Amino acid sequence: GKEFNAAEGQSITRHQIDSASSQFFPLCMSGIQSHLRKNHHLKHGARRQYGLFLKAIGLSLDEAMAFFREEFTQKIDSDKFEKQYGYNIRHMYGKEGKRVEYTAFSCASIILNNPPSHDDCHGCPFKHSTEDGLKSILKSNKIKSEYIDEMIALSKINQFDKACSLHWEVSRGREKGSLPSLITHPNQYYDLARDAAG
């Protein structure tokens, strides 16, 4: 599959993340962002799913460290942050260990691997949320009820790509079926949303 890396010149600062999240992030990522702001913590699965996504939209290592430090140190001191999480974050940027350039997870990987347990916030809401949970996420996302029903129906028959593509379309007032190809990667969702906004 296609790998999504920050395009030349594409970058984002930590101060732009909330606004980007509400405008351009797919539900799997805006959900983690809300969880982080509310709980000032992310467990391992979410740190990885979200950290690699943010890296691919152009958040630099320094910005990522500052972003997570500012949240996490509302609950733990900065020494503990550096020890427990600093390595992890640098590792995602290929600065530790084997120095591998890790790429962001595709939808298939998010849907098939490492399913979230009840107190995790990673995964794909179309796949991993209960029907009521998904309904309330979509409602608070201001999706019209006819589309909510349709996304739930698609999720029930495992057509998560179609549900997510419909979410992309109706969230920006596009016609249903207007996306030329289905969403198969969170960073594809983001890139297309940014492009659509001009």
Which residues face 12 on adjacent strands?
59
At 43, list the tokens: 């467990």
Measured from the CB atom, the residue of 81 and 162 that comes closer to ligand SF4 is: 162
The residues of the shown chain that bind ligand SF4, judged by CB under 6 A, are 26-28, 107, 110, 124-126, 160-161, 164, 183, 186, 189
Shortest distance, position 2 Cβ to ligand SF4, whole Å: 14
User: How many whole angstroms separate alpha carbon 66 and alpha carbon 50?
Assistant: 15
Shortest reach from residue 7's CB to ligand SF4, in Å: 18
Could you tell me the smallest distance in angstroms from the CB atom of residue 25 to ligand SF4? 9
| 111 Cβ neighbours under 8 A, 6+ residues apart | 123, 124, 127, 160
If the CB atoms of residues 50 and 189 are measured against ligand SF4, the closer one turns out to be 189
- Pick the closer one to ligand SF4 by CB: 81 or 190: 190
Name residues whose C-beta falls within 8 Å of residue 161's C-beta, 6 or more positions apart in sequence: 107, 182, 183, 184
Q: How far is the CB of 144 from ligand SF4 (least distance, A)?
A: 18
Tokens encoding 74: 């509302």
